[in-house]
Structure 1
Amino acid sequence: MSSVKKNLKKAESLAKFQIALNIVPHIASLTGSQLGGSPFVPKSLDFARDTAGEILPLFCQINFANMPAILGFPKSGLFQMFVSGGELDEAVNEAVVFRYLKAEQLLEESRDMSAYKTQAPWMLVDSTVKSITGVKKDYKIRSKHTIGGRPNFVQEKVYEDHVNFLQFDSEDGIMVGENGIMHVFVTNEDLEELNFDNAEFHFDCC
Structure 2
Amino acid sequence: MDDLESTTARPSIEISTDSVGPLPVSASKLGGTPYLPAGEPAPQGRVAPLTFLAQIRLEELPDNDFLPDAGLLQFWIGRDDLYGMECDDLRAGDYRVVHYPSIDESVSKEDVLARYVPANLDDEDELSPFETNDSLALSFTMTSQPLSKDDVSFGKAFSDLWSTMFPEVPLEAWWKLPKDLTEALYDRFATSGHRLGGYPCFTQWDPRGTNSLEKEAVLLLQIDSDDHIMWGDVGVANFFILPQELAAGDFSRVAYTWDCC
- Would the TM-score normalized by the shorter structure come out above 0.5? yes
List gaps (5 residues or longer) in structure 2. 1-6, 87-91, 122-126, 147-188, 209-214
What is the one-letter code of the residue matched to 1:58?
F
Match of 1:8 in 2: none
| RCO comparison, higher one (Cα < 8 Å, 6+) | 1
1:136-185: CA deviation from partner (whole Å, max 9, x where unpaired): 01113845110001111222222241110000111131111211111000
TM-score (norm 2): 0.66
Q: Report the CA distance between 1:109 and its aligned residue.
A: 4.8
User: Structure 1 stretch 148-157 or stretch 107-116: which is displaced more?
Assistant: 107-116
Question: What CA distance in whole angstroms lies between the structure 1 residues aligned with 2:83 and 2:12?
Answer: 30
Say whether the 8 Å CA contact 1:39–1:58 is kept in structure 2. yes
Question: What CA distance in whole angstroms lies between the structure 1 residues aligned with 2:236 and 2:83?
Answer: 16
Is 1:118 the equivalent of 2:118? yes
1:85-109: CA deviation from partner (whole Å, max 9, x where unpaired): 3322786454211111003xx1375
Q: 1:102 to 1:161 in 2, by over 3 A?
A: same
Larger strand fraction of residues: 1
List gaps (5 residues or longer) in structure 1. 1-11
Say whether the 8 Å CA contact 1:179–1:205 is kept in structure 2. yes
Match of 2:171 in 1: none
TM-score (norm 1): 0.82
Question: What CA distance in whole angstroms lies between the structure 2 residues aligned with 1:198 and 1:115?
Answer: 25
Max Rg structure: 2
- Return the match for 2:230 from 158, 175, 179: 175
1:110-147: CA deviation from partner (whole Å, max 9, x where unpaired): 38331321226622122221111110011138451100
Question: What CA distance in whole angstroms lies between the structure 1 residues aligned with 2:55 and 2:85?
Answer: 23
Q: 1:16 to 1:91 in 2, by over 3 A?
A: closer
What is the one-letter code of the residue matched to 1:51?
R
Kindly report the root-mean-square deviation, in angstroms, between the aligned alpha carbons of the 2 structures.
2.5
Say whether the 8 Å CA contact 1:43–1:108 is kept in structure 2. no
Percent identity between the aligned chains?
23
Say whether the 8 Å CA contact 2:52–2:76 is kept in structure 1. yes
Q: How many residues align?
A: 191
Is 1:33 the equivalent of 2:28? yes
Match of 1:3 in 2: none
Question: What CA distance in whole angstroms lies between the structure 2 residues aligned with 1:181 and 1:100?
Answer: 23
Residues 1-206 of structure 1 correspond to what in structure 2 (within 5 A)?
16-26=10-20, 28-43=23-38, 45-52=40-47, 54-88=48-82, 92=86, 93-103=92-102, 106-107=103-104, 109-110=106-107, 112-113=111-112, 114-119=114-119, 122-140=128-146, 142-159=191-208, 160-206=215-261
Q: 1:91 to 1:175 in 2, by over 3 A?
A: closer
Q: What is the SS of the residue equivalent to 1:95?
A: coil
Say whether the 8 Å CA contact 1:88–1:122 is kept in structure 2. no
Q: 1:154 to 1:124 in 2, by over 3 A?
A: same
Say whether the 8 Å CA contact 1:148–1:164 is kept in structure 2. yes
User: Structure 1 stretch 180-189 or stretch 148-157: which is displaced more?
Assistant: 148-157
